[in-house]
A and B are shown apart, each in its own frame.
Chain A
Amino acid sequence: MEKDNFEKIFVVMPFYNEEKVINDVINEIKSAGFSNIIAVDDGSSDNAFEKIKNVSGVTALKHKINRGKGAATKTGIEAAKLLGAEIIVTMDGDGQHDPVDISNLIRPILNGQVDVVLGSRLHKPEGMPWHKILHNKIGNIITWYLFGLYVTDSQSGFRAYSIKAADVINTKGDRYEYDSEVLREIYLYKLKYQEVPIKVRYTEYSMGKIHKQGFINGFKTLYKMIWKLIH
Protein backbone atom coordinates (compact mmCIF):
# COMPACT_ATOMS: atom_id res chain seq x y z
CA MET A 1 0.00 0.00 0.00
CA GLU A 2 1.24 3.48 -0.82
CA LYS A 3 2.21 5.59 2.18
CA ASP A 4 0.35 8.58 0.68
CA ASN A 5 -2.88 6.66 1.11
CA PHE A 6 -2.36 6.73 4.88
CA GLU A 7 -2.50 10.52 5.19
CA LYS A 8 -6.25 10.71 5.66
CA ILE A 9 -6.40 7.63 7.84
CA PHE A 10 -6.89 8.36 11.51
CA VAL A 11 -6.46 5.86 14.30
CA VAL A 12 -8.80 6.55 17.22
CA MET A 13 -7.71 5.06 20.51
CA PRO A 14 -9.83 5.52 23.65
CA PHE A 15 -8.06 4.69 26.89
CA TYR A 16 -8.58 4.74 30.63
CA ASN A 17 -5.71 4.55 33.11
CA GLU A 18 -3.22 3.07 30.60
CA GLU A 19 -0.17 5.00 31.84
CA LYS A 20 2.03 1.88 31.75
CA VAL A 21 1.44 0.96 28.11
CA ILE A 22 0.08 4.01 26.29
CA ASN A 23 3.42 5.18 24.85
CA ASP A 24 4.30 1.69 23.62
CA VAL A 25 0.92 1.38 21.90
CA ILE A 26 1.40 4.76 20.19
CA ASN A 27 4.91 3.80 19.06
CA GLU A 28 3.60 0.53 17.66
CA ILE A 29 0.91 2.37 15.68
CA LYS A 30 3.56 4.70 14.27
CA SER A 31 5.83 1.77 13.43
CA ALA A 32 2.94 0.22 11.50
CA GLY A 33 2.97 3.36 9.31
CA PHE A 34 0.11 5.38 10.76
CA SER A 35 0.96 8.84 11.99
CA ASN A 36 -2.48 10.33 12.59
CA ILE A 37 -3.43 9.15 16.03
CA ILE A 38 -6.29 10.48 18.13
CA ALA A 39 -5.92 9.33 21.72
CA VAL A 40 -8.94 9.97 23.93
CA ASP A 41 -8.34 9.87 27.65
CA ASP A 42 -11.64 8.87 29.22
CA GLY A 43 -11.18 10.62 32.54
CA SER A 44 -8.10 8.68 33.69
CA SER A 45 -6.82 9.25 37.21
CA ASP A 46 -3.22 8.38 36.27
CA ASN A 47 -0.69 10.40 34.24
CA ALA A 48 -1.37 8.80 30.86
CA PHE A 49 -2.64 12.03 29.33
CA GLU A 50 0.41 13.99 30.50
CA LYS A 51 2.64 11.37 28.91
CA ILE A 52 1.10 11.67 25.45
CA LYS A 53 -0.19 15.21 25.14
CA ASN A 54 3.00 16.52 23.50
CA VAL A 55 3.88 13.46 21.42
CA SER A 56 4.13 14.40 17.75
CA GLY A 57 1.44 13.00 15.49
CA VAL A 58 -0.88 12.44 18.44
CA THR A 59 -4.01 14.50 18.95
CA ALA A 60 -4.60 14.03 22.63
CA LEU A 61 -8.12 14.67 23.91
CA LYS A 62 -9.37 14.37 27.44
CA HIS A 63 -12.78 13.66 28.92
CA LYS A 64 -12.89 15.48 32.24
CA ILE A 65 -14.95 12.65 33.70
CA ASN A 66 -15.15 8.98 32.82
CA ARG A 67 -17.97 8.40 30.32
CA GLY A 68 -17.17 4.93 29.05
CA LYS A 69 -15.42 3.36 26.10
CA GLY A 70 -18.30 4.03 23.70
CA ALA A 71 -18.45 7.73 24.56
CA ALA A 72 -14.66 8.09 24.24
CA THR A 73 -14.63 6.28 20.88
CA LYS A 74 -17.39 8.56 19.63
CA THR A 75 -15.40 11.62 20.74
CA GLY A 76 -12.39 10.32 18.82
CA ILE A 77 -14.47 9.70 15.70
CA GLU A 78 -15.92 13.23 15.89
CA ALA A 79 -12.37 14.59 16.20
CA ALA A 80 -11.23 12.55 13.19
CA LYS A 81 -14.10 13.98 11.13
CA LEU A 82 -13.10 17.50 12.15
CA LEU A 83 -9.52 16.78 11.10
CA GLY A 84 -10.62 15.65 7.63
CA ALA A 85 -10.33 11.87 7.96
CA GLU A 86 -11.41 9.64 5.09
CA ILE A 87 -10.93 6.38 6.94
CA ILE A 88 -11.20 6.00 10.71
CA VAL A 89 -9.77 3.04 12.60
CA THR A 90 -10.77 2.41 16.21
CA MET A 91 -8.69 0.27 18.54
CA ASP A 92 -8.24 -0.31 22.28
CA GLY A 93 -5.56 1.55 24.17
CA ASP A 94 -4.39 -1.32 26.38
CA GLY A 95 -2.19 -2.97 23.77
CA GLN A 96 -4.36 -6.02 23.16
CA HIS A 97 -4.79 -5.07 19.48
CA ASP A 98 -1.79 -5.38 17.18
CA PRO A 99 -1.43 -2.24 14.98
CA VAL A 100 0.06 -4.44 12.24
CA ASP A 101 -3.54 -5.56 11.58
CA ILE A 102 -4.62 -2.00 10.70
CA SER A 103 -3.47 -2.46 7.11
CA ASN A 104 -5.72 -5.51 6.76
CA LEU A 105 -8.62 -3.60 8.24
CA ILE A 106 -8.41 -0.60 5.93
CA ARG A 107 -7.65 -2.50 2.71
CA PRO A 108 -11.28 -3.41 1.82
CA ILE A 109 -12.30 0.25 2.38
CA LEU A 110 -9.41 1.60 0.30
CA ASN A 111 -10.44 -0.81 -2.46
CA GLY A 112 -13.98 0.57 -2.27
CA GLN A 113 -15.46 -2.81 -1.42
CA VAL A 114 -17.10 -2.01 1.91
CA ASP A 115 -18.02 0.82 4.30
CA VAL A 116 -17.09 -0.88 7.56
CA VAL A 117 -14.50 -3.53 8.42
CA LEU A 118 -14.91 -5.44 11.67
CA GLY A 119 -11.89 -7.02 13.27
CA SER A 120 -12.74 -10.48 14.55
CA ARG A 121 -10.81 -12.13 17.34
CA LEU A 122 -12.71 -15.34 16.88
CA HIS A 123 -11.23 -16.10 13.49
CA LYS A 124 -7.93 -16.74 15.28
CA PRO A 125 -8.83 -17.31 18.94
CA GLU A 126 -5.44 -18.77 19.93
CA GLY A 127 -4.48 -17.50 23.36
CA MET A 128 -7.94 -16.15 24.04
CA PRO A 129 -9.26 -17.40 27.41
CA TRP A 130 -12.21 -19.82 27.12
CA HIS A 131 -14.49 -17.60 29.18
CA LYS A 132 -13.82 -14.71 26.78
CA ILE A 133 -14.74 -16.94 23.84
CA LEU A 134 -17.94 -18.04 25.60
CA HIS A 135 -18.76 -14.47 26.58
CA ASN A 136 -18.26 -13.37 22.98
CA LYS A 137 -20.43 -16.11 21.52
CA ILE A 138 -23.27 -15.25 23.91
CA GLY A 139 -22.81 -11.57 22.99
CA ASN A 140 -22.97 -12.44 19.29
CA ILE A 141 -26.24 -14.32 19.68
CA ILE A 142 -27.84 -11.57 21.79
CA THR A 143 -26.66 -8.88 19.36
CA TRP A 144 -28.07 -10.85 16.43
CA TYR A 145 -31.39 -11.37 18.24
CA LEU A 146 -31.76 -7.74 19.33
CA PHE A 147 -30.10 -5.85 16.49
CA GLY A 148 -30.47 -8.20 13.53
CA LEU A 149 -26.85 -8.68 12.47
CA TYR A 150 -24.83 -11.83 13.14
CA VAL A 151 -21.06 -11.39 13.22
CA THR A 152 -18.36 -13.58 14.73
CA ASP A 153 -17.12 -10.90 17.15
CA SER A 154 -19.80 -8.41 18.10
CA GLN A 155 -17.76 -6.98 21.00
CA SER A 156 -14.56 -6.20 19.10
CA GLY A 157 -13.44 -2.59 19.27
CA PHE A 158 -10.87 -2.97 16.46
CA ARG A 159 -12.77 -1.66 13.44
CA ALA A 160 -12.38 0.59 10.43
CA TYR A 161 -14.96 2.96 8.99
CA SER A 162 -15.16 4.89 5.75
CA ILE A 163 -16.11 8.53 6.23
CA LYS A 164 -19.53 7.71 4.75
CA ALA A 165 -20.09 5.09 7.47
CA ALA A 166 -18.75 7.40 10.19
CA ASP A 167 -21.21 10.09 9.10
CA VAL A 168 -24.18 7.74 9.06
CA ILE A 169 -23.54 5.76 12.23
CA ASN A 170 -25.15 7.48 15.19
CA THR A 171 -24.80 5.67 18.48
CA LYS A 172 -26.02 6.66 21.92
CA GLY A 173 -24.38 3.94 24.00
CA ASP A 174 -21.65 5.27 26.23
CA ARG A 175 -20.22 2.04 27.52
CA TYR A 176 -19.57 -1.41 26.10
CA GLU A 177 -23.00 -1.58 24.38
CA TYR A 178 -21.48 0.85 21.86
CA ASP A 179 -19.87 -1.97 19.85
CA SER A 180 -23.21 -3.75 19.44
CA GLU A 181 -24.99 -0.51 18.61
CA VAL A 182 -22.62 0.03 15.69
CA LEU A 183 -23.80 -3.31 14.30
CA ARG A 184 -27.41 -2.17 14.62
CA GLU A 185 -26.56 0.94 12.61
CA ILE A 186 -24.80 -1.16 9.93
CA TYR A 187 -27.95 -3.28 9.69
CA LEU A 188 -30.34 -0.31 9.71
CA TYR A 189 -28.48 1.71 7.08
CA LYS A 190 -27.54 -1.35 5.03
CA LEU A 191 -23.86 -0.47 5.11
CA LYS A 192 -21.51 -2.89 3.37
CA TYR A 193 -19.26 -4.62 5.88
CA GLN A 194 -16.63 -7.31 6.06
CA GLU A 195 -15.03 -9.24 8.90
CA VAL A 196 -11.26 -9.53 8.99
CA PRO A 197 -9.29 -11.77 11.35
CA ILE A 198 -7.23 -9.91 13.93
CA LYS A 199 -4.69 -11.04 16.47
CA VAL A 200 -5.33 -10.49 20.16
CA ARG A 201 -2.62 -10.13 22.74
CA TYR A 202 -3.99 -11.15 26.10
CA THR A 203 -1.16 -10.14 28.36
CA GLU A 204 -1.05 -10.31 32.14
CA TYR A 205 -1.49 -6.55 32.10
CA SER A 206 -4.58 -6.44 29.89
CA MET A 207 -6.19 -9.41 31.65
CA GLY A 208 -5.61 -7.83 35.05
CA LYS A 209 -7.46 -4.64 34.34
CA ILE A 210 -10.62 -4.48 36.36
CA HIS A 211 -12.63 -2.38 33.97
CA LYS A 212 -12.55 -4.95 31.19
CA GLN A 213 -15.65 -6.77 30.01
CA GLY A 214 -16.49 -9.36 32.62
CA PHE A 215 -19.73 -11.22 33.18
CA ILE A 216 -21.15 -8.45 35.41
CA ASN A 217 -20.32 -5.86 32.77
CA GLY A 218 -21.81 -8.26 30.26
CA PHE A 219 -25.13 -8.19 32.10
CA LYS A 220 -24.96 -4.39 32.31
CA THR A 221 -24.34 -4.27 28.57
CA LEU A 222 -27.29 -6.59 27.95
CA TYR A 223 -29.53 -4.44 30.14
CA LYS A 224 -28.45 -1.31 28.25
CA MET A 225 -29.08 -2.98 24.90
CA ILE A 226 -32.59 -4.03 25.91
CA TRP A 227 -33.29 -0.63 27.47
CA LYS A 228 -32.32 1.11 24.21
CA LEU A 229 -34.86 -1.03 22.39
CA ILE A 230 -37.82 -0.41 24.72
CA HIS A 231 -36.99 3.18 25.52
Chain B
Amino acid sequence: MMELKFHLYQIIVLIVSSIMIFQGIKNFIRGKGGQTFYKLIIRIAVWGGMSIIAIFPQATNILAGLVGLEGNINAVILTAFLLIFLMIFKLLSAIERLEQDISEVTRKESLKNLEK
Protein backbone atom coordinates (compact mmCIF):
# COMPACT_ATOMS: atom_id res chain seq x y z
CA MET B 1 0.00 0.00 0.00
CA MET B 2 1.33 3.46 -0.95
CA GLU B 3 2.33 5.52 2.07
CA LEU B 4 1.23 9.16 1.99
CA LYS B 5 3.76 11.43 3.64
CA PHE B 6 3.05 15.17 3.77
CA HIS B 7 5.48 17.97 4.52
CA LEU B 8 4.37 20.95 6.60
CA TYR B 9 4.40 23.34 3.58
CA GLN B 10 2.03 21.02 1.71
CA ILE B 11 -0.45 21.07 4.59
CA ILE B 12 -0.23 24.89 4.87
CA VAL B 13 -0.76 25.38 1.13
CA LEU B 14 -3.69 22.95 1.21
CA ILE B 15 -5.36 24.72 4.16
CA VAL B 16 -4.85 28.25 2.70
CA SER B 17 -6.04 27.15 -0.75
CA SER B 18 -9.12 25.44 0.69
CA ILE B 19 -10.05 28.56 2.67
CA MET B 20 -9.58 30.80 -0.38
CA ILE B 21 -11.64 28.54 -2.64
CA PHE B 22 -14.33 28.10 0.02
CA GLN B 23 -14.55 31.89 0.51
CA GLY B 24 -14.81 32.41 -3.25
CA ILE B 25 -17.62 29.87 -3.64
CA LYS B 26 -19.43 31.27 -0.59
CA ASN B 27 -19.21 34.84 -1.93
CA PHE B 28 -20.33 33.71 -5.37
CA ILE B 29 -23.37 31.85 -4.01
CA ARG B 30 -24.33 34.79 -1.78
CA GLY B 31 -23.52 37.30 -4.53
CA LYS B 32 -21.16 39.13 -2.19
CA GLY B 33 -17.90 41.05 -2.65
CA GLY B 34 -18.36 41.53 -6.39
CA GLN B 35 -17.59 37.85 -6.93
CA THR B 36 -18.42 37.01 -10.53
CA PHE B 37 -18.28 33.59 -12.18
CA TYR B 38 -15.14 34.67 -14.08
CA LYS B 39 -13.39 35.71 -10.86
CA LEU B 40 -14.42 32.47 -9.18
CA ILE B 41 -12.96 30.39 -12.03
CA ILE B 42 -9.66 32.31 -11.77
CA ARG B 43 -9.62 31.85 -8.00
CA ILE B 44 -10.22 28.11 -8.32
CA ALA B 45 -7.60 27.79 -11.09
CA VAL B 46 -4.90 29.67 -9.12
CA TRP B 47 -5.47 28.20 -5.65
CA GLY B 48 -6.48 24.78 -7.01
CA GLY B 49 -3.35 24.73 -9.17
CA MET B 50 -1.20 25.52 -6.15
CA SER B 51 -2.83 22.72 -4.16
CA ILE B 52 -2.32 20.20 -6.97
CA ILE B 53 1.36 21.14 -7.26
CA ALA B 54 1.78 20.98 -3.47
CA ILE B 55 0.17 17.55 -3.17
CA PHE B 56 1.49 16.08 -6.42
CA PRO B 57 4.87 17.73 -7.10
CA GLN B 58 5.39 15.33 -10.02
CA ALA B 59 2.51 17.15 -11.80
CA THR B 60 5.03 19.87 -12.60
CA ASN B 61 6.64 17.45 -15.09
CA ILE B 62 3.42 17.54 -17.13
CA LEU B 63 3.50 21.36 -16.99
CA ALA B 64 7.17 21.37 -18.01
CA GLY B 65 6.30 19.21 -21.00
CA LEU B 66 3.44 21.51 -21.94
CA VAL B 67 5.48 24.69 -21.61
CA GLY B 68 8.45 23.11 -23.34
CA LEU B 69 11.00 23.71 -20.61
CA GLU B 70 13.25 20.97 -19.29
CA GLY B 71 13.33 21.91 -15.62
CA ASN B 72 9.94 21.46 -14.00
CA ILE B 73 10.58 24.17 -11.39
CA ASN B 74 11.52 26.63 -14.16
CA ALA B 75 8.24 25.81 -15.89
CA VAL B 76 6.28 26.47 -12.69
CA ILE B 77 8.06 29.79 -12.06
CA LEU B 78 7.62 30.91 -15.68
CA THR B 79 3.92 30.03 -15.68
CA ALA B 80 3.45 31.78 -12.33
CA PHE B 81 5.22 34.88 -13.67
CA LEU B 82 3.00 34.93 -16.73
CA LEU B 83 -0.11 34.58 -14.60
CA ILE B 84 1.03 37.33 -12.23
CA PHE B 85 1.88 39.57 -15.19
CA LEU B 86 -1.58 39.01 -16.66
CA MET B 87 -3.19 39.77 -13.32
CA ILE B 88 -1.18 42.97 -12.87
CA PHE B 89 -2.11 44.04 -16.40
CA LYS B 90 -5.77 43.39 -15.68
CA LEU B 91 -5.51 45.24 -12.38
CA LEU B 92 -3.82 48.26 -13.98
CA SER B 93 -6.48 48.32 -16.71
CA ALA B 94 -9.20 48.31 -14.07
CA ILE B 95 -7.48 51.12 -12.14
CA GLU B 96 -7.08 53.14 -15.33
CA ARG B 97 -10.77 52.70 -16.13
CA LEU B 98 -11.72 53.75 -12.61
CA GLU B 99 -9.44 56.81 -12.78
CA GLN B 100 -11.10 57.89 -16.01
CA ASP B 101 -14.55 57.31 -14.56
CA ILE B 102 -13.66 59.39 -11.49
CA SER B 103 -12.41 62.23 -13.73
CA GLU B 104 -15.56 62.06 -15.82
CA VAL B 105 -17.83 62.18 -12.75
CA THR B 106 -15.78 65.06 -11.30
CA ARG B 107 -16.05 66.90 -14.64
CA LYS B 108 -19.80 66.40 -14.93
CA GLU B 109 -20.26 67.61 -11.37
CA SER B 110 -18.23 70.76 -11.98
CA LEU B 111 -20.08 71.51 -15.24
CA LYS B 112 -23.50 70.87 -13.71
CA ASN B 113 -24.39 74.56 -13.38
CA LEU B 114 -23.34 75.39 -16.94
CA GLU B 115 -25.38 72.59 -18.47
CA LYS B 116 -28.61 73.79 -16.81
CA distance A59 to B93 in the complex (A): 35
A74 interface hit (Cβ, 8 Å): yes
| Interchain Cβ contacts under 8 Å between A and B, 13 examples | A40-B110, A59-B114, A61-B111, A61-B114, A63-B106, A64-B106, A67-B107, A71-B106, A74-B107, A75-B111, A78-B111, A83-B114, A227-B92
Do B110 and A172 have beta carbons less than 8 Å apart?
A: no
Write out, one digit per residue, whether chain B residues 73-116 have a CB within 8 A of any chain A CB (1) or not (0): 00000000000000000001100100110110011011100110
Do B111 and A231 have beta carbons less than 8 Å apart?
A: no
Write out, one digit per residue, whether chain A residues 20-46 have a CB within 8 A of any chain B CB (1) or not (0): 000000000000000000001000000
Task: Tell me the total A-B contact number using a CB cutoff of 8 A.
Answer: 45
Do B96 and A231 have beta carbons less than 8 Å apart?
A: yes
Do B110 and A61 have beta carbons less than 8 Å apart?
A: yes
Within 8 A of B (CB), among A69-114: 71, 74-75, 78-79, 82-83
A185 interface hit (Cβ, 8 Å): no
Do B107 and A78 have beta carbons less than 8 Å apart?
A: yes
Task: Give the total of B residues in contact with A, Cβ under 8 Å.
Answer: 14
Residues of B within 8 A of A79 (CB): 111, 114
Asked, given contacts A174-B99, A227-B96, A231-B96, whether A62 binds B115 with beta carbons under 8 Å apart, the answer is no
CA distance A62 to B110 in the complex (A): 6
Residues of A within 8 A of B102 (CB): 65, 67
Q: Is chain B's binding surface mostly helix, strand, loop or mixed?
A: helix
Residues of B within 8 A of A75 (CB): 106-107, 110-111
Interface range on chain A (Cβ under 8 Å from partner): 20 to 34
CA distance A16 to B112 in the complex (A): 20
Residues of A within 8 A of B103 (CB): 67-68, 71, 74, 174
Q: Could you say which of B93, B109, B115 has the most chain A C-beta atoms within 10 Å of its C-beta?
A: B109
Do A82 and B110 have beta carbons less than 8 Å apart?
A: no
CA distance A226 to B106 in the complex (A): 25
CA distance A227 to B92 in the complex (A): 9
CA distance A85 to B90 in the complex (A): 40
Asked, given contacts A227-B96, A231-B96, whether A67 binds B111 with beta carbons under 8 Å apart, the answer is no
Residues of A within 8 A of B110 (CB): 40, 61-64, 75
CA distance A71 to B102 in the complex (A): 10
Residues of B within 8 A of A40 (CB): 110
CA distance A71 to B110 in the complex (A): 12
Shortest CB distance A228–B (Å): 9
Do A231 and B114 have beta carbons less than 8 Å apart?
A: no
Do B111 and A172 have beta carbons less than 8 Å apart?
A: no
CA distance A63 to B100 in the complex (A): 14
